[in-house]
A and B are shown apart, each in its own frame.
Chain A
Amino acid sequence: MSLLLYETENSGGVPFGRLLQAEWRRLWKRRTVRLMALAAPLMALVSAKYLLSQNGMLHPGLPEYATAGSMPVLALAEMLVTAFSGMMLVLAGLTVTEEYRSGQLRMGMLRAASLTRIMSAKWLVCLAFMWIQLAAYFVCSAVVGRIWFPNPDTYPLFYEAGQAAYAEGLLYDLGYYALAALVLAALLAVFFWIAAIGRSSTVTLGLGIGFLLLSYLLPTVLTYFRPLFETQEYVRLYFLSLLMVEWEGLAAMLANLHGLRLWNLGVIGGYGLLFGAMTMWVWKRRDSFE
């Protein structure tokens, strides 16, 4: 980022902050985005309905049994892979593929802003939107949890990470959401790369869903070869999938199961750096050869 700002000050180009402002304002002018912004309370209600029905089939002593304290984590586990990923795919399709393919991005490029800097601004703005959604979802699910779910003195955390009272549980929830925020940043980098190569928003959507399916399929296939690996090797291979990190890996990180905290952080960082660099490479080439 500092490199981008430095470049601006020395080249007479547009300050990076103004690029961010322009992207942010444009994002909010879209009806689809404004509708997505209203999704958090709705998603929390849908999750609550599902978790209440699940509670009827579960023993209250299990970590999967939803309580006021565990509701935000359980609700996010339901929605992170589906709704949040879907929203990010739509954002990438609208802001990157559609604007690039329709020629709208040319308007920015004609104003002394390089494509690489425009894309960096877009990524940051979409990420800010998703983080706000995540924060809104946390608040909504905590409120819904407090109103609709039982609130025992203590309840068990995942992977035998101990028992937590409500206040401790909320801190645990915050840790879980912070890790989820990192995964969203990495996944958005993946989707931006897909959006950069996608010829239309529909293609971007299809490729993104393909990436998610592949991320589910490979670890599932791996389970058939479980006896061939040591436990440590197996879980590390399993959590090479970003989708699995989203789905099961965050709770495992908080419990530091099999030393997964560092490993999964590395996986998240690796995806972010790899796909961020690949996206930059695509745009860097297009800076010259559009």
Chain B
Amino acid sequence: MNTAERDTNPRIVIPQAEPVLVETGNVTKKVRRRALLQNVSFTVERGEICGLLGPNGAGKTTLIRAMTGLIRPDSGDIRIGGRSVVREREAAVLHVGAIVESPIFFPYMTGRDNLDNLALLHPNLPTRKEREQRVREVLEIVRMDKRADERVKTYSLGMKQRLGIAQALLGDPELLILDEPANGLDPMGIRELRELILRLKHELGKTVLVSSHLLDELQKICDRIVVIREGEQVFAGSREEMIGRHSSLEEAFVEMMTS
């Protein structure tokens, strides 16, 4: 579904004029008095690829869960497309496609059946014809159309990641959130994933927030970087600002973590 078609649907209104798509303001989440997130505030503009960096346990997945409405922050707000995830969760996450933690599917179904089933849960795909068409489109985007009719339990991890991105694209979201999408992939898989993410940005105009430990990969694709450590945001800015006087993103990151 293109933007013009979506704008004719009275139930889904996405303000297009604002350059900022994601806005997190002082997001704090505590569990048993321990702060998992502490005053995290950053913005992501439309069309950007934003890298979310941090060591294990820094709070990246917690932040992603809060951004997708799976958990509620104790304070602060997250706005996506002008809608608050905290107060208008269902309306806000309509703009979002995501893989959280790892792509999990129903293993007893084929890839296509999984997507068909999940497409039923998209309000902006009301008819069977539209759903089938959209499933075909996303399978082609991630180049899974030839293996789509095999059971998911026979897929490699790389195929599952691509199917995960396909399911995230089903509702034609403005924002894609990918949590550690390169985990467990071989070098070829990582390269294919990078190319896919760049294609999503350049050809489909998607905004992408991606968390990863692979700093080289993030350096190659990200426009903006957010770094968190022990739940606190230690950097938010452009890739160039982060690299600064260092020779690479990795060097800048290591210094940030050890200082």
Q: Interface residues, chain A, CB within 8 Å of chain B?
A: 11-15, 18-19, 21-22, 25-26, 29-31, 102-104, 106-114, 288-290
Contacts and interface: CB of A to CB of B under 8 A. Distances in A.
**Most chain B CB neighbours (cut-off 10 Å) among A11, A29, A31, A110:** A110
25 contacts: A11-B88, A12-B11, A12-B12, A12-B94, A14-B122, A19-B121, A22-B120, A25-B116, A25-B117, A25-B120, A26-B106, A29-B108, A29-B113, A102-B104, A104-B106, A106-B104, A109-B69, A110-B70, A110-B97, A111-B93, A111-B122, A111-B171, A112-B91, A113-B121, A288-B72
Contacts of A112: 89-91, 93-94, 121, 123
A106 B12 contact: no
A22 B121 contact: yes
Contacts of B108: 29-31
Interface residues of B, number: 35
A22 B70 contact: no
B98 interface: yes
B109 A29 contact: yes
Nearest to B113: A29
B113 A107 contact: no
Interface string B101-142: 110111011000100111011110000000000000000000
**Most chain B CB neighbours (cut-off 10 Å) among A12, A19, A31, A102:** A12
B30 to A, nearest CB: 12
A111 B70 CA distance: 11
B98 A110 contact: yes
A34 to B, nearest CB: 11
Nearest to B170: A111
Interface of B: 11-12, 65, 68-72, 88-91, 93-94, 96-98, 100-102, 104-106, 108-109, 113, 116-118, 120-123, 167, 171
Contact of B120 (A18, A104, A290): A18
A29 B111 CA distance: 13
Given A12-B90, A112-B90, A289-B71, A103 B122 contact: no
A111 B96 CA distance: 8
Nearest to B131: A18
Contact of B71 (A12, A31, A288): A288
A109 B104 CA distance: 13
B171 to A, nearest CB: 7
Nearest to A25: B117
Contacts of B89: 112, 114
**Most chain A CB neighbours (cut-off 10 Å) among B65, B100, B117, B120:** B120
A288 B87 CA distance: 12
A25 B109 CA distance: 11
B94 to A, nearest CB: 5
Contacts of A14: 120-123
Given A11-B91, A289-B71, 12 more contacts: A11-B88, A11-B90, A12-B11, A12-B12, A12-B94, A13-B90, A13-B91, A25-B116, A30-B108, A106-B70, A108-B118, A111-B93
A103 B104 contact: yes
B90 A114 contact: yes
Contacts of A19: 120-121
Nearest to A113: B121
Contacts of A102: 104
Contacts of A31: 108
Given A104-B104, A112-B89, A15 B123 contact: yes
Contacts of A114: 89-90
Contacts of A22: 117-118, 120-121
Given A12-B91, A18-B121, A22-B121, A110 B68 contact: yes
B78 to A, nearest CB: 14
B219 to A, nearest CB: 28
Contact of B117 (A26, A110, A288, A289): A26
Contacts of B121: 14, 18-19, 22, 108, 111-113
A91 B96 CA distance: 31
A290 B90 contact: no
Contact of A107 (B11, B93, B167, B171): B167
